[in-house]
Amino acid sequence: MKILVTGSAGLLGSHLIDQLKNSNHLITGTYHSRKPLIDDNRINYVKVDLRKSEESRRIVKGADIVFLCAANTGGITKTQRSSRPVVDTLQINAQLLDLCAEENVKQVFLMSSTTVYPDRVTPFLEDDGFVGEPCATYFGIGWMNRYLEKLAQYYRHRCGLATTVIRPTNLYGPYDNFSEHCAHVIPSLIRKFVNADQAVQIWGDGSQQRDFIYAGDVAALLVRLIGMTELAGPFNIGSGQGVSIGHLAKDVAVATGKTNIEIAFDLAKAAGPSIRLVDISLAKYLLNFTPMHTLQEGLRKTLQWYNHRYD
């Protein structure tokens, strides 16, 4: 089969490429500004601007399976400074869904996120994704993901396009973006602790709880779901366990061997909602999903990759 992975230079896209490269499928990966991190001549990498319909049509044509992993990302700060992450991601994926239907693609995986959920402290079930408004912190990106999920549902019902919607929690792992301005919490903490001499600063008081899932575990699940076209979703995919940011910082300190470094909390900086957890019972039951990596194991692998790349 011909498999297309958009955003193949991103975190999840890279893990998908890594898991698909040894298969018998013909793999094409797209990238835009960030170059692919996996150098393998079995992968056909194509540099495209997926906002342009003619370029998107060219790469979708002939594909059997499409993983929609392309997005303009960069964390809370970036989305609050600019509308571009929301507008670009919406334009790219709405256009690709339409082209996949037009080109009769056999199966499409849409990567949504837990930004669709409202501001609530209990673990979210999938049906909570359209209750009230998305959390104010993620308002724009939350509504964008809600719209794309409904669009995927529309193409399934109206055009027979076999779409599967996945809602992963906070992804991390090798191939992540560790840059100072765009890194999410785990790569940011790893970079800070590796480079720290005295203290590491954390936004908020450290009590915020999040669910972190190793990107390789999500990629392995997606590859296993190829051909299971009856599974529409959405499906919460996470570790099923919450961890406070303060505790996470201590785990990163242990992984980096910097347990002597002071952890300083900046209460003046925005830390986001206090608790963002999901219930993964549906994925366990219907997808037989069980995370393979503990947080500590995932951190060790991520740190190893980081040290190898930036040493």
Per the CB < 8 A criterion, the answer to whether 84 and 248 are in contact is no
Report the C-alpha dihedral over residues 148, 164, 101, 67, rounded to 10 degrees: 90
pTM across the whole model: 0.94
> Distances in Å between the alpha carbon of 264 and those of 146, 245, 267?
36, 12, 10
Whole-number pLDDT of residue 205: 87
pLDDT tens, 200-218?
Answer: 998 888 899 999 999 999 9
Q: What are 60's two structure tokens?
A: 């979708």
Looking at the DSSP assignment, which residues form a beta bridge with residue 2? 26
CA-nearest of 107, 125, 215, 213 to 164 is 107
3-class SS of residue 17: helix
The structural domains of the chain, ordered by start, are: 2-171+213-238+276-292 (3.40.50.720)
Alpha-helix residue ranges (DSSP H) falling in the chain = 11-20, 53-60, 75-81, 84-102, 139-159, 185-195, 215-224, 245-256, 281-286, 295-310
Whole-number pLDDT of residue 163: 98
Whole-number pLDDT of residue 270: 67
Whole-number pLDDT of residue 268: 75
The half-sphere exposure of 295 on its side-chain side, counting CA atoms within 13 A, is: 20
Element (H, E) at 242: none
Report the C-alpha dihedral over residues 12, 115, 86, 70, rounded to 10 degrees: 10
Whole-number pLDDT of residue 238: 98
Q: What are 251's two structure tokens?
A: 């785990």
* CA–CA separation, 243 and 170 (whole Å): 11
CA-nearest of 166, 259, 174, 159 to 215 is 174
Whole-number pLDDT of residue 74: 56
In this prediction, the residues of the chain whose per-residue pLDDT falls under 70 are 73-82, 270-271
